[in-house]
Chain A
């Protein structure tokens, strides 16, 4: 099963800087294993970030996003204690949602 994401949300002025680390292999479907067989594609296709329940970032990714993806989102008009949610879905239908709160920097 998918491991929890690491989400860090810090406030700078009124902009929340949200950084997310996801543990995911992000296989491209081009790599071969030790036996020379192609490792099938396995990557996150859809990623949604919410701020107090409103979608602020709706991403579509390809297999070209690096392994164990790191990405960042900035949200204006945020306050300390605001709720941030991140959900991803991969091409095998696996999914995971994690939450964090905005903290002062």
Chain B
């Protein structure tokens, strides 16, 4: 009887340790994701600093990046932005709303057959250029499109 109880306690203890390890593992993987987040870029208030954080200072203007966004966005809280890159070997597409308090909106890495295409709805505080920065073959390219915003979406 007593022996059984000992056994049970030992087993329960072992199971507890495994569960704790699994939880620790989960937390760690969450932190890894957070670390991958480009904190410097997302907290930059100037477009030049954003470009620097992306390593894209001096990116070449390119006509092979097509930005589709409304000319006039009545509601700045929902501005659909579509970016298509025709540059071969496109790896990363970043979207910047130049006059937002924090201009960098999204960084998208594409791999394993993902098309050089991205669509996302962003918020814009005021009329500004929406800039796309594309990384292809280790080089950076950029294009911009102006979106007029009637009612800002940051408040």
Partner-B contacts on A (CB < 8 A): 15, 26, 28, 30-31, 45-46, 49, 51, 54-67, 69-78, 89, 91, 93, 95
Contacts and interface: CB of A to CB of B under 8 A. Distances in A.
Contacts of A76: 113-115
Contacts of B33: 45-46, 89
A58 B32 CA distance: 14
Interface of B: 30, 33-34, 36-38, 42, 77-80, 82, 97, 100-102, 104-115, 117-124, 153-155
Contact of A89 (B30, B107, B118): B30
15 contacts: A15-B115, A30-B155, A31-B155, A45-B34, A46-B37, A51-B112, A57-B118, A60-B37, A60-B38, A60-B106, A61-B106, A62-B104, A64-B104, A65-B106, A76-B114
A30 B126 CA distance: 14
B49 to A, nearest CB: 14
A74 B154 CA distance: 29
B154 A28 contact: yes
A46 B36 contact: yes
Given A60-B36, A65-B106, A66-B78, A93 B30 contact: yes
Contacts of A71: 118-121
B101 A30 contact: yes
B118 A72 contact: yes
Given A28-B154, A51-B112, A95-B30, A65 B102 contact: no
Contacts, number: 121
Nearest to A19: B119
Contacts of A56: 110-114
A57 B108 contact: yes
A60 B111 CA distance: 14
A26 B123 CA distance: 10
A29 to B, nearest CB: 9
Nearest to A48: B33
6 A-B pairs with the lowest CB-CB distances in the bound complex, closest first: A56-B114, A74-B115, A72-B119, A64-B105, A66-B121, A54-B112
